[in-house]
Structure 1
C-alpha cells in the first residue's frame, strides 16, 4: 500500500491539470487522428499490465517530463472542492460495469460531504467511447461551463453510440462544434499515463485518497468495498 501511495503521489506531482487560457483548436481531421491514436494504443496493448512501484524496487518507474502534460484540460469532478477524501475513478462510458460504479459513486457523493469524485476518463472499448469522453471533458472545461453532469448521466443511461451521444448533447444543452481543444486530447493521454503509474490493471478502477493514505480498488468494485476504503482512511 505504501509503495502504491508513493507512485500515485509522484504521478500527481508530475501531472499538472491547469487549463491554458488560449488553447489551439483541432479540426475534424485532427480530432479523428486523436481518437485513432488513443484507440490504437489499446488495440496494440490489450493485455498491458500498467506499471506501479512495488516494495522490492529501489527506484520508482521512469516519469514523463515535468512539463509533458502542461495545458491539459481539468478532469471533470464533483462534490465539495475542499473535501478531505478524493475518489479517482478510471472509467469508460462504453463499459457497463464502469457505469454501474459511476452510479455507486453518485450515491456516495450525494450522501457525504467529505468526498470529492474526480473522473480520469480512460476509454478502451472503442472509438465511440473515446468520443464520449472527449465530449464530457470538453463540456466540463467550456466557458461558460456546459451541463456536463447531465451529459454524463445520459451517456451512462443510454450508451455511447453516435445517435445517443448527439441526443445526450442536445439534452444537456451543449452545442457540438465538431472541434475539440488540444488540452482535452492531452487529458486522455495524461490519464493513460497516470493509470499506468498508479497500477491500474482492469476497469473499472477506483483509487480512494486521503492525505498520504491510498486504497486502490479495481475490477470488482462494490459499494461495500468503496465504503470500507472510506472508513479505513477516515479512521487514520
Structure 2
C-alpha cells in the first residue's frame, strides 16, 4: 500500500512538473490538493521519502569522498613536511585534522596516541587545521615551527598544547613551549609553515571537512570525534 501511495504521489508530482504547460490553473490546483490530501492522510510517506533522501545523500558523499581521496592521496598521506606519530613503516596511515582549541580534539588526540603506541601497523599524519580563531593559528604555527627546528620536540609540544583545558591565549601557547624548553621568540614561522597550514585548510575544504577533529583513512573520511572502540574496529578491518 505504501509503495502504491508513494508511486501515485511521485507520478502526480511528475505530471505537475513536467506537464505544467498543458494544465490550466484549476487542473493544477486539483493536482496539488490531491497530493496534499495523500500526504496528510499518509504522513509516513514523508518519513520514507526523507530516509531515502538521506541514503542518497550518504551515497553521494561517499562517492565524492572516494574520488577526492584518490586524487589527493599523496597530499594526505605522503607529505614529508607533515609531522607523523607511530611507526614510519606502518601498513596503515591515517591523516588527522585537529585544532588546539577544539574540545573534541582534546579527547581524540590521546586516543590516537594510545592506538599508535599499541599498534605498530598504524601511523598518524598530523594535519594542523587551525579554524577556531587567531590563537588556533598561532598555536599551529608554533607547533610546526618547532617541528621544523627540532622534530624530536614536536610531539611533546603537540601533547602539551592539546592537553590544556579550554581555549588557548598567546600567553598559554608561550608557556606550553617554555615548559618544553623552547623559546617561542626564537622560533621562525617562515613561509613554509604558513604554506603548510594553508595547504591543510584547502585540503580540508576539498574533502568537505568543516570542523575538527576529522580522521581520513585511505578509503574513508570520518568527520567528528570517533570513539576508541569504533576506531580500533575500523583499523582492524583494514589490516
TM range, smaller chain? 0.5 to 0.7
Aligned to 1:170: 178
Task: Flag the structure with higher helix content.
Answer: 2
CA distance 1:10–1:203, change in 2 (3 Å): same
Matched residues, number:
174
Q: CA deviation at 1:184?
A: 0.5
Looking at structure 1, the residues matched to 85 and 225 of structure 2 have their Cα atoms a distance apart, in angstroms, of 23
Looking at structure 2, the residues matched to 127 and 229 of structure 1 have their Cα atoms a distance apart, in angstroms, of 34
Aligned to 2:66: 5
Aligned to 2:237: 232
Output aligned runs, 1:71-86, within 5 Å: 74-86=81-93
Q: State the SS of the aligned residue for 2:115.
A: helix
State yes or no: 1:110 paired with 2:117: yes
Looking at structure 1, the residues matched to 221 and 204 of structure 2 have their Cα atoms a distance apart, in angstroms, of 11
Q: State the SS of the aligned residue for 2:89.
A: coil
Q: CA deviation at 1:2?
A: 5.6
Output aligned runs, 1:1-236, within 5 Å: 1=62, 3-13=64-74, 17=79, 74-142=81-149, 144-145=150-151, 147-158=153-164, 159-176=167-184, 177=186, 179-209=188-218, 214-234=219-239
Task: Kindly indicate whether the alpha-carbon contact (under 8 Å) linking 2:108 and 2:225 is maintained by their aligned counterparts in 1.
Answer: no
Looking at structure 1, the residues matched to 110 and 75 of structure 2 have their Cα atoms a distance apart, in angstroms, of 30
Q: Under a length normalisation based on structure 2, what TM-score does the superposition of the two structures give?
A: 0.67
Higher relative contact order (CA 8 A, sep 6+): 1
RMSD between superposed Cα atoms in Å: 2.0
Task: Kindly indicate whether the alpha-carbon contact (under 8 Å) linking 1:86 and 1:117 is maintained by their aligned counterparts in 2.
Answer: yes
Q: Under a length normalisation based on structure 1, what TM-score does the superposition of the two structures give?
A: 0.68
Structure 2: gaps of 5 or more residues: 1-61
Q: State the SS of the aligned residue for 2:231.
A: helix
Radius of gyration: which is bigger? 2
Q: State the SS of the aligned residue for 1:75.
A: coil
